[in-house]
Structure 1
Amino acid sequence: MMIIRPIKSCDYDALWHIANHTGVGFSSLQPKPDMVRRKMDWALESFAASSALDESLYLFMLEDHKTGEIAGVSGIESAIGLSDPWYNFKINTQVHASRELNVYNRLTTMTLCSDHTGYSELCTLFLMPEYRHSNFGRLLSKARMMFMANHPLHFNENVIAEMRGCCNDSGESPFWEAIGRHFFNVDFVTADQQVAQGKTFIAELMPRHPIYTNMLPQDAQAVIGETHSDTLPARKLLESEGFHYTHYIDIFDAGPLLEARVRDIRTVRDSKEYKVQIHESTTTDQTDWLLSNTDFNQFRCILGHLSFEGLEFVNITRAQADALQLDSNDTVRVVPLTGRRP
């Protein structure tokens, strides 16, 4: 059984191992020991705090309950851009027209902005390749939404998720080459590593005036708002949950930013709480359900089958109850994994 749980102090080696597999463009977790340690310490502090920090990071580990092996990580930042500025390009349309010359042109522009300051962010999602099956990716991503449903006061009413933009196998980004390199004079990989330490330097170097996209090379225009092939499954999953593209992109690789109101996310909106009844077997129904306890620093979430007992109770197995750290009559939150039942 695979279990989602908060990161623990003993997870450094596992987090470091994952960081060494994330690849170019995955700026939120790179193979730099100081970065991995800071991220881990921040998450441990956030879970241990007696009251919510102004800027919290909640990291969750996907653990094989049988072997103890860590298969992946996912996270939520409670508020972005408060202590370290958060920048995106906003895509706009400008009209240039002249009646006398009978000219009418609609042109796309990009403007540097910080419109999402204070929003929550789904971040740092990575599943090791050997575990990319059996709905483990869905569990890793959607468990965060179960946590948000349990503890809404820890988050902004709006949440975003940045999708990795397009780059080639050598780590070159056509968008970066067209814009960023002219202002930073470093390659994309180096810039991506620098932004992982903070975005303050962006304000010092990036242009504040609108950039007309039709003046960019065709290969740079083609990747604006496009998602890296490795990240497409994550984008489709989020869109199925109600996230949508709102014409904001990353300033380095032009990857799209997806946005939703927390209360409108399907997993948050449709999940319900029930009392637990424990049985040897539960049901022959093959619907996959997300099940979580409602704890904070002992949060647990799994995939499994269940059955209902009236309007108040759900039946789960002893193994499921143990994985969720639940006893009879405790509260469990449940929701169908995909939003539909066979």
Structure 2
Amino acid sequence: MMIVRHAAHRDLDDIYRLAQRAGESGIGLTSLPENKEILAERITRTHHTLDGLAEKCDASYLFVLEDTSIQKIVGVSAIEVAVGLKEPFYNFRVATQVHASKALNVYKTLDTLFLSNDHTGCSELCTLFLDPEYRKNQNGKFLSKVRFLFIAAFRSFFEERLIAEMRGFSDQNGHSPFWDALGYHFFNMDFATADYLSGIGQKVFIAELMPRFPVYVDLLTSEARAVIAEMHPHTLPAAKVLMSEGLKYQGYVDIFDAGPTLEANTADLRAVKESRLFKVNMTEQVETTEIHYLVANDQYKDYRVLLINNKVDQGNTLRLTAAQAQALNVNEQDEVRVLALEKMEKN
């Protein structure tokens, strides 16, 4: 059985193994570094948050996907409650400037990149990684969409705006044409080093070294211009999942690789609008369907989510087997939150 829950310190070795697998897939997943100390701190932050001990600037939730049949962690995903309150959160705002002269009969619009802190205080979806061997049976969508269901259940803990940074384009050797054309000239370090330092929280150098004036896109190389707001091919499936839940690109890109930032109002998320509460009805057998549903126990500290294909009626009860109820840590007549894995088309 596959279940999502909060990360625990006993999971550290498995999470570190996932970080190593992420490293094998190339540069870009900076929030899952191959560093046990940093990963342990991520778990500690989760538990401080759950215990009400974390300041908003440190609040974070790290979820794990566990294969309970072998007690192995095979995936992770996370939510930062509010970015940029402790260390500045930077990206580029893609904008337009007009250069015009009536006397010379010249009118020209130019794309520009402005260094921005506009997403300060937003909640952020991050740290999504699934063991390649488990990229089947809807596990990827399950692990990603759990975060939306958690936000729907505990909206007061999150901000009104939600963002997700998508990995930008880099080649098979880890070279970013955008970085080579812009960032390298100010930092004099390779893309991998700058991205890693940013991912582990050492971001002061960004403020110290990045240009404060707008960058004219036309002055960049054609290779760099071509990848602005473009995603790495490996990131496209994850981005499509987020966009199906209500996030979209609105003109902000990463300062290192120019990957797009997706964003949405929390109130507009599909999970917030469409998730429903049901009373548990325990039964020996359940009728199944081709439709998959996320079902969560809505217990803040002992949060658990399953992906099921039980038939969901129009009433207010949901039939669960004893094994499913036990996995969710719920009993007869307890409430669970349910959301279809895919958006349901209305007749």
Give the CA deviation at 1:48.
Answer: 2.9
CA RMSD of aligned residues (A): 1.5
Gaps of 5+ in 1: none
1:223 to 208, 227, 230: 227
Question: Judging changes above 3 Å, is the alpha-carbon distance between structure 1 residues 193 and 50 closer, same or farther for their aligned structure 2 residues?
Answer: closer
Q: Is the 8 A contact 1:110 1:210 kept in 2?
A: yes
- Determine what percentage of the aligned residue pairs are the same residue: 45
Instruction: After TM superposition, give the deviation of residue 197 of structure 1 in Å.
Output: 2.9
Aligned ranges for residues 136-151 of structure 1 at < 5 Å?
Answer: 136-151=139-154
Structure-2 residue corresponding to 1:17? 17
Relative distance call for 1:37 and 1:284 in structure 2 (3 A) is closer
Residues 113-151 of structure 1 deviation map (CA, whole Å, 9 limit, x = unaligned): 100111000000001111111100010000111111111
Q: Which amino acid aligns with 1:251?
A: I
Q: What is the SS of the residue equivalent to 1:70? A: strand
Shift of 1:22: 1.5
For 1:308 and 1:192, how far apart are their aligned partners in 2?
45
Change (3 A) 1:119 1:230: same
2-side partners of 1:197 and 1:12: how far apart?
17
TM-score by length of 1: 0.96
Separation in 2, partners of 1:82, 1:209 = 23
Residue 276 (structure 2) aligned to one of 269, 272, 276: 272
Tell me, which stretches of 5 or more residues in structure 2 are unaligned?
Answer: none
CA gap of 1:41–1:294, structure 2 versus 1, over 3 A, is same
Counterpart position of 2:256: 252
Q: Which residue is 1:295 aligned to?
A: 299
| 189-198 or 294-303, which deviates more | 189-198
Is residue 180 of structure 2 the alignment partner of residue 163 of structure 1? Answer: no
1:54, CA displacement in angstroms? 4.5
Q: What per-residue deviation string (whole Å, max 9, x for no partner) do you get for residues 252-272 of structure 1?
A: 000000001112111221001
Deviation at 1:315, TM superposition (A): 1.3
Structure-2-length-normalised TM-score: 0.95
2:339 is the alignment partner of 1:324: no
Task: Tell me how far apart the structure 1 counterparts of residues 217 and 138 of structure 2 sit (CA, whole Å).
Answer: 39
* Equivalent runs, 1:100-249 vs 2, <5 Å: 100-198=103-201, 199-249=203-253
Name the counterpart of 2:66: 63
In the aligned structure 1, how far is the partner of 2:307 from the partner of 2:122?
A: 28
- C-alpha spacing 1:34/1:62, structure 2 compared with 1 (3 Å): same
Tell me the number of residue pairs that the alignment of Structure 1 and Structure 2 aligns: 342
For 2:41 and 2:293, how far apart are their aligned partners in 1?
34
Q: Deviations over 1:50-79 (max 9, x none)?
A: 687443110000001211111100000000
